[in-house]
Amino acid sequence: MIRLLTRWIFIILIPILLLSGTIAWAFNSLWIYENGFVKYDVGQALGVSSAELNISASKLIAYFNDPHQQYLDINVTYNNGGTAPLYDQADILHMKAVKDLIWVDYGLLLFATIYSQVYILANAIWSKRNGRRDTDWVRHGKISLNNVANL
């Protein structure tokens, strides 16, 4: 019964692992922000240079990944020479909520990764103790576990 339950948890966690990994990658990809700025002509709409927008994107990514910074604080220099916050109070509160959701995603990603690796390792040990040959997915799981261990 326990093996069946752990197998179903593993199966359910595979799409969660893929989705949460994709979300984490997207929120940390400077390339996505920069392409969005170009696609929607954000620099011209706000009166901010591309270089300034790219710096603000880097600061936004740093904000999302800093557990100690509670609120977003990004100032930019506009084309007219003035410096001001890029986000207003409503945007700052919204970004706090987004950051909280990103950290939930990070937690899911961590849990799904650890569970999957432990599940694969436990199945490999169980298979070996019961005289079963390693299946391909167990071998790949061992390789994956070794890669994670070497990080």
pLDDT tens for 3-22 read: 899 999 999 999 999 999 99
For the chain, what is the domain count? Answer: 1
- Centre a 10 Å sphere on the Cβ of residue 120 and count the other Cβ atoms it contains: 20
Helices (H), the chain: 2-27, 30-39, 42-46, 50-65, 89-129, 136-149
Q: What is the pLDDT of residue 127?
A: 77
Is residue 134 very low, low, confident or very high in pLDDT (cuts 50, 70, 90)?
Answer: low
Average of pLDDT values for 46-56?
96
Q: What is the pLDDT of residue 126?
A: 82
Q: What is the pLDDT of residue 1?
A: 86
